[in-house]
């Protein structure tokens, strides 16, 4: 599992991959990656953060409504919003282009990729948070608060939100991870001005020297892995404190 990662990282620092280390060590490829693809790092972080923000904003109220509804349509709705995960991203992206591809400003904006990522990650957030809202003890506490005269907003912001915060956090971590590595939708949705990390990677593999591809892969790992570890760590600490 680890072998290919090692080969890829070391090849990014070789003068020539075909010769190996005898060719010498260089940072030239790294510099070239930075000048050609540096912008993709920020684009990916921006999109992933915006995706997390948007999914929290729309999924949390939705999850609450679904969790408190006993009607059949709630299950049906949950099923429906999960479809973008069951259907290949390629199909969802094609569909988006067919309808919105003509809107130039939208097509050429990062927001076009953002809506794709939101649609794809929404079910993860909704399901995680809805499961937390459905916990029986939470239902009981909420009923007590309601009988004591707490208004809906008092209950929602003072009682329910803090109680499901750990689940929102683990949902956020999942959404961030999915968004930063997403390629299937993103490759179809991107334009030369809106490129994310995985899109840039694919472009460099197809059109650049193998050493540049390796150096870029190294950049991806060095940017993404510590970020994911840090988020995992903070999630674990927070969940331990609040759960």
Partner 1 sequence: MASRWQPFLLAPALVVFAAFWLLPMARLIALPAEKAWDSYFVVLTQPAYLLSLINTLLLSLAVTLVSLVLGAAVGLFLARHRFAGRRMLLGVLTLPLSFPGVIIGFFVILLGGRQGLIPSLSDTMGFGRWTFAYSFIGLFLAYVYFSLPRAISAYAAAAEAIDVSLEDCARTLGASAWHIVRDVWIPELAPTTIACGAIIFATAMGAFGTAFTLASKFDVLPITIYSEFTNYANFAFAASLSISLGLVTWAALALSRRKGAYAALGL
Q: Interaction with partner 1 in 77-136: which residues (CB under 8 A)?
A: 77, 80-92, 94-96, 98-100, 115-116, 118-119, 122-124, 126-128
Nearer to partner 1, 89 or 166 (CB): 89
Q: Is 148 in the site for partner 1 (CB under 8 A)?
A: no
Q: Is 69 in the site for partner 1 (CB under 8 A)?
A: yes
Tokens linked to 96? 């988006």
d(CA 146, CA 128): 25
Report in angstroms how near the CB of residue 204 gets to partner 1 at its nearest.
9
CA angle 18, 19, 21 (to 5 degrees): 120
Residues 27-46 that bind partner 1 (CB under 8 A): none
Report in angstroms how near the CB of residue 193 gets to partner 1 at its nearest.
18
Q: Which stretch binds partner 1 (CB under 8 A): 23-31, 33-41, 45-53, 54-62?
A: 54-62
Phi, psi of 180 (to 5 degrees): -70, -25
Whether residue 66 contacts residue 226, with contact meaning beta carbons closer than 8 Å, is answered with no
Instruction: Say how many Å lie between the first and final Cα of the chain, rounded.
Output: 34
Q: Is 235 in the site for partner 1 (CB under 8 A)?
A: no
Report in angstroms how near the CB of residue 51 gets to partner 1 at its nearest.
12
> Could you say which DSSP state residue 160 is in?
I
Residue in 227, 178, 220 with CA at minimum distance from that of residue 197: 220
Q: 25 has which bridge partners? A: 14
Q: Which stretch binds partner 1 (CB under 8 A): 23-31, 34-42, 55-63, 235-243?
A: 55-63
Whether residue 149 contacts residue 141, with contact meaning beta carbons closer than 8 Å, is answered with no
d(CA 210, CA 42): 23
Residue from 40, 52, 168, 198 binding partner 1 (CB under 8 A): 198
Residue from 7, 27, 161, 230 binding partner 1 (CB under 8 A): 7
Site string for partner 1, 200-219 (x = CB under 8 A): -xx--xx---x--xx--x--
Nearer to partner 1, 86 or 148 (CB): 86
Residues in binding contact with partner 1, number by CB under 8 A:
75
Report in angstroms how near the CB of residue 105 gets to partner 1 at its nearest.
16
Q: Where are the alpha helices (DSSP H) in the chain?
A: 3-11, 28-68, 72-86, 89-100, 104-107, 110-133, 136-147, 152-155, 161-181, 186-189, 197-207, 210-242
Residue in 52, 50, 46, 43 with CA at minimum distance from that of residue 121: 52
Report in angstroms how near the CB of residue 34 gets to partner 1 at its nearest.
18
Report in angstroms how near the CB of residue 95 gets to partner 1 at its nearest.
3
């Amino acid at each position: 599992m680890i072998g290919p990662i090692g080969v890829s990282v070391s090849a990014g620092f070789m003068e020539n991959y075909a010769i190996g280390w005898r060719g010498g060590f260089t940072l030239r490829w790294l510099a070239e990656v930075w000048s050609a693809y540096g912008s993709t790092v920020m684009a990916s972080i921006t999109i992933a953060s915006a995706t997390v923000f948007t999914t929290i904003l729309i999924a949390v109220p939705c999850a609450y409504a679904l969790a408190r509804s006993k009607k059949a349509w709630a299950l049906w709705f949950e099923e429906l919003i999960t479809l973008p995960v069951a259907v290949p991203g390629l199909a969802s992206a094609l569909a988006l282009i067919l309808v919105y591809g003509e809107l130039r400003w939208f097509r050429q904006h990062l927001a076009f990729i953002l809506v794709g990522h939101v649609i794809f990650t929404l079910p993860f957030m909704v399901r995680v948070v809805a499961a937390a809202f459905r916990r029986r003890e939470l239902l009981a506490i909420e009923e007590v608060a309601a009988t004591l005269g707490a208004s809906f907003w008092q209950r929602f912001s003072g009682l329910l939100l803090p109680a499901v915060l750990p689940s929102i956090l683990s949902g956020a971590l999942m959404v961030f991870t999915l968004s930063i590595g997403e390629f299937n939708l993103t490759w179809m949705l991107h334009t030369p001005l809106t490129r994310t990390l995985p899109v840039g990677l694919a472009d460099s593999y197809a059109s650049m020297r193998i050493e540049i591809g390796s150096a870029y892969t190294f950049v991806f790992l060095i940017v993404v892995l510590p970020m994911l570890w840090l988020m995992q760590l903070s999630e674990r600490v927070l969940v331990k404190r609040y759960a």
